[in-house]
């Protein structure tokens, strides 16, 4: 095949990903099936974005909790789930409720969105809800359960994977991917102990709810890679799970999934080896679940460094030609761009020596992958001279904390002595991932610069593992909740996929009380992603400062900022209303996993030009 034909084929495939649905809709979690989070809408531009104003709001009035929802919009109807996983349909122009469905979950649970199956000639469109360990299908027009799906509209997802662990955590926090008539999902499982429910992703028939395929994230005896889990390390292993959501290439029939860390998170003596598929991007045949390729971002994880974000399908330049690629920004603060067909890095990755664990019985891996292009984006190390000094009191507190905790550089493992590592377990990056502008050829990434403190201790007699973490999820922060490392604490960057170089990088986030003292441009921690538009804009909330912003996609210049009723720890969307207006919507849920995030919120906020 000629180079010209290869390039043309790649371009056609990308166009197919981006234009499979009406340009005015937001029909998937990442808008297109490949998760680019790009909309071609261009009514809102750098010239007029400053005029954006609230068009409507909707309050769920549910109990407050971790609400990271990204709504969908199809044919002028918005679908999303509330904090208690009530599915709600709104008129996308007005915010008026059309219907709601209550699955009667016993408590507020972490949730990021619903999915939409358009049906076929014999089947009406359906809204797909995953809540706790239930897979539910609703008629998209009425909100009523589809009675011939599963058992009266739902499937119990614990059956076959969590039977032996009835009290263990097993739930679905991210919306499933859908390819043709296959619903593809992965669970969230426990961080420890190491024995528990399987984290295997599975595919279900969208019409009947019957299981179609299952992929073993821990290879079973006789399967390739079983030996990377050590003798018996596979048996009864909890996770690793694809909790962060998945993306699909509908042209090539492939599904791409981020696989999380193994349990226990910080001690892996019972799993010597690289632990294949854990902390990896895995590509499968979407119809059969058969492995295409996998790429591991962290070997033998001892850092809770999940690969958490849905891999985004992009284009990148390899040997002078544009090729389909997969972009994954992980907790370790590095952007991995992989060839979609082979899983090999586009711009190179180096295996570099890292600090070794001194925990009894532990056999940590000697090297870890480091991206060559772009270089690591988030902070990976820190010195005494880099302790923050936003006030004398803060500096003194943080300096004492820094001297208490020992840091050995990137990939510092936990130990029986207090340790400090970068980034923290919230990243770097986390579950939200990147956005991609095919017009600019830029990938946009937001990330946090924060350290993690903790140590290990001997477990009580009779515990399943000899050691456990003691405050391993501690954050390297002062008494006021500000990071103890020097700013910037949050950043937004654009990576040019033609070169692998950083096109621009800006501080993301600010704090009013610090700015009142003259301390500006600190940045803020973020959870949630950006979106890119054909109008030349990047929209992002995500930060713990309860602000929503728009940036010029070419330069990174901040053009618009508004205050939200609560932190928008979610990914926004944009769509065209029936009235022709372009709307931008963010869920202001607050009270997420970010330190310093605002109290909970329950508001969906829509913006449009006057």
- Cα(292)–Cα(558) distance, rounded to whole angstroms? 41
Report pLDDT for 132. Answer: 86
Residue-wise pLDDT tens digits, 198-217: 999 999 999 999 999 999 99
Is the pLDDT reported for residue 4 higher than 50? no
- Considering the chain, what percentage of its residues have pLDDT values greater than 70? 95
In the sheet that holds 87-91, the strands lie side by side as 72-74, 77-81, 87-91, 97-101
Q: Once rounded to an integer, what is the mean pLDDT over residues 121-126? A: 94
Q: Is there a catalytic annotation at residue 32?
A: no
∠ CA 126-131-133, nearest 5°, is: 115
Q: Mean per-residue pLDDT for 539-552?
A: 96
Determine if the peptide bond prior to 190 is cis (ω within 30°): no
Phi-psi region of 457 (alpha: psi -120 to 50; beta: other; left: phi over 0): beta
- The residue-averaged pLDDT of 275-281 equals 98
Distance CA 333, CA 374 (A): 11
Q: Indicate the pLDDT class of residue 8, thresholds 50, 70 and 90.
A: very low
Q: Within 13 Å, how many C-alpha atoms sit on residue 295's CB side? A: 25
pLDDT, mean of residues 75-103: 97
DSSP states along 407-435: --STTPPP-SS-EEESSBTTBSS-SS--E
Give the structural domain span for 542. Answer: 3-608
For the stretch 442-476, pLDDT in tens is 999 999 999 999 999 999 998 988 999 987 678 99
Which residue among 139, 249, 304, 545 is the active-site one? 304
The count of domains in the chain is 1
pLDDT, tens digit, 9 for 90 and up, residues 381-439:
999 999 999 999 999 999 999 999 999 999 999 999 999 999 999 889 999 999 999 99
Which DSSP letter does residue 106 get?
Answer: S
Calculate the average pLDDT of the chain.
Answer: 93
**Can you tell me the distance from the alpha carbon of 334 to that of 344, in angstroms, rounded to the nearest whole number?**
15
Q: Give the pLDDT score at 597.
A: 60
Q: What is the pLDDT of residues 558-599, one digit of tens each?
A: 999 999 999 999 999 999 999 999 999 999 998 677 766 667
Query: Regarding beta strands 38-39 and 530-533, do their DSSP bridges make them parallel or antiparallel, or are they unpaired?
Result: parallel
How do residues 33-46 score in pLDDT, each as one tens digit?
A: 999 999 999 999 99
Average pLDDT value for residue range 162-186: 94
CA distance 571 to 577: 19
Q: Confidence band (pLDDT; 50, 70, 90) for 7?
A: very low
Residue entry with tokens 């969105």:
113
The bridge status of strand 170-171 relative to strand 247-249 is unpaired
CB 69 within 8 A of CB 111: yes
* pLDDT reported for residue 12: 40
Kindly report the CA angle at 13 between 9 and 16, in degrees rounded to 5? Answer: 140
Q: With 50 as the cut, is the pLDDT of residue 334 above it? A: yes
Q: What is the CATH number of the domain that holds 389?
A: 2.140.10.10
Q: Which residue has the higher pLDDT, 225 or 109?
A: 225
- Spatial separation of the C-alpha atoms in residues 172 and 370, rounded to whole Å: 31
Q: Of 516, 596, 594, 609, whose CA–CA distance to 560 is shortest?
A: 609
Quick one: DSSP state of residue 228? G
Q: What is the pTM of this model?
A: 0.95
């Amino acid at each position: 095949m000629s180079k010209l034909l290869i390039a043309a084929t790649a371009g056609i495939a990308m166009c197919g990903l981006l234009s499979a649905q009406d340009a005015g809709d937001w029909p998937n979690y990442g808008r297109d099936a490949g998760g680019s989070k790009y909309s071609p809408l261009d009514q809102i531009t750098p010239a007029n974005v400053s005029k954006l104003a609230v068009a409507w709001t909707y309050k769920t009035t549910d109990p407050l909790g971790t609400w990271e929802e990204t709504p969908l919009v199809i044919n002028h109807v918005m679908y999303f789930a509330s904090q208690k996983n009530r599915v709600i349909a709104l008129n996308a122009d007005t915010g008026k409720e059309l219907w709601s469905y209550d699955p009667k979950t016993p408590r507020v649970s972490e949730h990021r969105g619903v999915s939409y199956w358009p049906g076929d000639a014999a089947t009406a469109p359906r809204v797909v809800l995953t809540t706790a360990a239930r897979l539910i299908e609703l008629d998209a027009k009425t909100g009523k359960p589809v009675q011939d799906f599963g058992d009266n509209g739902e499937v119990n997802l614990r059956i076959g994977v969590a039977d032996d662990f009835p009290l263990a955590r097993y739930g679905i926090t991210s919306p499933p991917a859908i390819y043709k008539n296959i619903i593809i999902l992965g669970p969230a499982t426990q961080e420890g102990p190491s024995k528990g429910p399987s984290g295997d992703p599975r595919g279900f028939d969208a019409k009947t709810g019957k299981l179609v395929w299952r992929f073993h994230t821990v290879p079973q005896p006789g399967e390739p890679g079983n030996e990377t889990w050590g003798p018996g390390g596979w048996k009864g292993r909890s996770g690793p799970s694809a909790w962060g959501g998945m993306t699909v290439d509908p042209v090539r029939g492939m599904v791409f999934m981020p696989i999380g860390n193994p349990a226990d998170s910080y001690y892996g003596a019972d799993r010597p080896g690289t632990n294949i598929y854990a902390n990896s991007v895995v590509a499968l045949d979407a119809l059969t679940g058969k492995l295409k390729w996998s790429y591991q971002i962290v070997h033998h994880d001892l850092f809770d460094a999940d690969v958490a974000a849905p891999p985004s399908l992009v284009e990148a330049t390899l040997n002078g030609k544009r090729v389909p690629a997969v972009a994954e920004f992980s907790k370790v603060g590095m952007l991995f761009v992989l060839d979609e067909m082979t899983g090999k890095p586009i711009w190179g990755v180096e295996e570099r020596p890292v600090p070794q664990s001194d925990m009894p019985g532990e056999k940590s891996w000697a090297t870890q992958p480091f991206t060559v292009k772009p270089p690591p984006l988030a902070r990976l190390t820190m010195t005494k001279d880099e302790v923050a000094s936003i006030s004398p009191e803060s500096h003194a507190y943080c300096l004492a904390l820094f001297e208490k905790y020992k840091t050995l550089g990137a990939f510092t493992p936990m130990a029986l002595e207090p340790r400090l590592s970068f980034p923290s377990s919230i990243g770097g990056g986390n579950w939200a991932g990147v956005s991609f502008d095919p017009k600019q050829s830029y990938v946009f990434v937001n990330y946090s610069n924060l350290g993690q403190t903790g140590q290990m201790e001997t477990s009580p007699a009779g515990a399943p593992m000899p050691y456990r973490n003691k405050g391993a999820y501690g954050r390297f922060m002062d008494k006021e909740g500000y990071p103890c490392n020097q700013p910037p604490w949050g950043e937004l960057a654009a990576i040019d996929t033609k070169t692998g170089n950083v096109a621009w990088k800006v501080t993301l986030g600010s704090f009013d009380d610090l700015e009142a003292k003259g301390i500006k441009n600190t940045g803020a921690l973020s959870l949630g992603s950006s979106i890119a538009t054909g109008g030349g804009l990047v929209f992002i909330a995500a930060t713990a400062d309860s602000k929503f912003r728009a940036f010029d996609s070419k330069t990174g210049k901040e053009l618009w900022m508004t205050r939200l009723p609560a932190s928008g720890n979610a990914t926004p969307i944009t769509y065209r209303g029936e009235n022709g207006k372009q709307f931008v919507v963010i869920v202001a849920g607050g009270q997420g996993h970010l330190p310093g995030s605002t109290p909970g919120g329950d508001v969906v906020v829509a913006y449009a030009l006057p």
